[in-house]
Amino acid sequence: MAHPKKRTSAARRDKRRTHVKRAMPALIACPTTGVVHRSHCAFWYESKLYYKGRIVINKEKEVSSESV
């Protein structure tokens, strides 16, 4: 198996990889809120954190409980 005699610099390596581009992330609409967001990611909507159509964190509740 062939091995390089010298280490390839980062600049030379990156020049070779310039044609490789990342694809746009998959966007979906939430069935509960209708907000368009990245697939498999939680998102904020009206001070609530949604994931898989369910509320994970409710900011309004946390703020009201701290003031009491």
Q: For the purposes of burial, counting CB atoms within 10 Å of the CB of 51, is it exposed (0-12), middle (13-18) or buried (19 or more)?
A: middle
pTM: 0.54
**pLDDT confidence of residue 25:** 83
Is-contact 56 42, C-beta < 8 A?
yes
Could you read off the pLDDT of 13-27 as tens digits, one per residue?
Answer: 888 888 877 788 889
Number of Cβ within a 10 Å radius of residue 31: 8
**pLDDT confidence of residue 45:** 93
Q: Identify the CA nearest to 55 among candidates 20, 38, 30.
A: 30
Helices (H), 1-68: 10-16, 59-67
Extents of the domains making up the chain: 25-67
Low-confidence residues of the chain: pLDDT under 50: 68
**pLDDT confidence of residue 42:** 93
**pLDDT confidence of residue 67:** 54
